[in-house]
Every structure is written in C-alpha cells, then in structure tokens.
Amino acid sequence: MREFLKAPFSQMTLMSAYLSGRERFGTHQGVKGLEFERVMVIMDDSEAGGFLFKYDELFGVGSSEKRLAATRRLFYVTTSRARSSLALVAYAQRPEEVAKFVREAGWFSDAEVRIGSLRH
C-alpha cells in the first residue's frame, strides 16, 4: 500500500482508464472474445510468476505438461485476437533458442524474427 501511495497522481488517471476499459491495453486473459486490427503480445515469464503458465515452455524450454497446456491456451487467446497484424515480443533468458524454435516450427521467417537486448 505504501508503494501504491508513492505513485504520482498521473498514474492514477491512467490506471482508472485501464480499469474502466477506456485504454487500448488489456491483459492476456482480459482480451478473450475481443478482436483488434493490430495486436502486440508481450510475453515475460519473469513478470508473470510462472506458476500457471510459462512462455519459455511454449518455445521448447522446460517440460511441465500441465503448465504447457495452459500456456498454449493463453497463447491462442492472445494471438487469435488480431485481424490483420500480429507482433510477438518475448522476453526470454535465452532469446536465441526462442528465435530458433519459432523459425524451425515455421511460425515466422528469418526476416520476421528480431533479437535485441534491453538497455537499462
């Protein structure tokens, strides 16, 4: 609660817009049943906690069958929302392995895959 109260007021108005559905962003679970012209799916296991789903496992890193099935369902929900354009952003411990997996699986061509690093 103390951390929440430290946030500037401008963040409160943004949070209010998000919670009331006036913002153009949604959670992976919150977009089920909706459609959008363009969709960007941000996948970050470190922020998700990883106990119900884990994107690393979807991309061939890890082996929990139950969690993999849940991740596949969530991945379908998010990626099937796009009408014309879909971008996937995967924050991964081993991005080269993710890139290799999506290329070999035929999900994306070499030209469609980019590997970058975060600068702090």
3-state SS string for the chain: CHHHHHCCHHHHHHHHHHHCCCCCCCCCHHHCCCCEEEEEEEEEHHHHCCCCCCHHHHCCCCCCHHHHHHHHHHHHHHHCCEEEEEEEEEECCCHHHHHHHHHHCCCCCHHHCCCCCCCC
pLDDT score, position 68: 87
* Sign of the dihedral through C-alpha 103, 40, 76, 73: positive
Is 83 within a domain? yes
Is 13 within a domain? no
pLDDT classification of 113: cutoffs 50, 70, 90: very high
pLDDT score, position 57: 84
Is 107 within a domain? yes
Q: For residues 1-25, give the mean pLDDT.
A: 79
Is 11 within a domain? no
Is 19 within a domain? no
Is 6 within a domain? no
**How many domains does the chain divide into?**
1
Instruction: Please say if the pLDDT value at position 119 is more than 70.
Output: no
Is 120 within a domain? no
Domain that holds residue 96: 24-111
